[in-house]
């Protein structure tokens, strides 16, 4: 399984766009990139998943360059409620569902 590296923490202000970059140099051909969000006292929640280029949903965008060695989760116009830990995971689609969580990025949004 590919190892991921992401910043331990980030600070932002309400209304700003936040970009969290994840490095996964050893990503394999069959690996997908998935991001989860976790609020205090709750389980992680799926945000977005992609394989290459750009994926967008109602919550976030995921940018994946051609070499797929990194990815960037983009949160548009964050609010205080976006304060959470964000995990980047890389895993093979047919690997039986195994998710390897790293330490995550603790995002703090200030007023």
Q: Name which of 14 and 99 has its Cβ closer to another protein.
A: 99
Buried/exposed code over 83-93 (b: 16+ C-beta within 10 A; e: otherwise): ebbbbbbbbee
Contact flag: residue 45 with another protein (CB under 8 A): yes
Contact flag: residue 43 with another protein (CB under 8 A): yes
**Residue of 82, 7, 78 lying closest to 37 (CA atoms):** 82
The tokens describing 4, both together, are 């991921």
* Positive or negative: CA dihedral 70, 76, 77, 80: negative
Contact flag: residue 80 with another protein (CB under 8 A): no
The only residue of 21, 32, 63, 69 in contact with another protein, by rule CB under 8 A: 32
With CB under 8 A as the contact rule, which of the stretches 9-17, 60-68, 74-82, 99-107 interacts with another protein?
99-107
Which strands, in side-by-side order, build the sheet including 9-13? 9-13, 105-110, 84-92, 31-38, 45-50
The only residue of 49, 61, 72, 83 in contact with another protein, by rule CB under 8 A: 49
Q: Name which of 34 and 70 has its Cβ closer to another protein.
A: 34
Contact flag: residue 103 with another protein (CB under 8 A): yes
The only residue of 29, 58, 67, 94 in contact with another protein, by rule CB under 8 A: 94
């Amino acid at each position: 399984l590919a190892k991921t590296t992401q910043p331990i923490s980030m600070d932002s202000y309400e209304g700003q766009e936040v970009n969290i970059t994840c490095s996964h140099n050893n990503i394999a051909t069959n690996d997908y990139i998935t991001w989860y969000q976790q609020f205090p006292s709750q389980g992680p929640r799926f945000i977005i998943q992609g394989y290459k280029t750009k994926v967008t949903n109602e919550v976030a965008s995921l940018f994946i360059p051609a070499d797929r060695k990194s990815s960037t989760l983009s949160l548009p116009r964050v609010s205080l409620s976006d304060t959470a830990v964000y995990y980047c995971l890389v895993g093979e689609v047919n690997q039986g569902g195994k998710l390897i969580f790293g330490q995550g990025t603790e995002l703090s949004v200030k007023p």
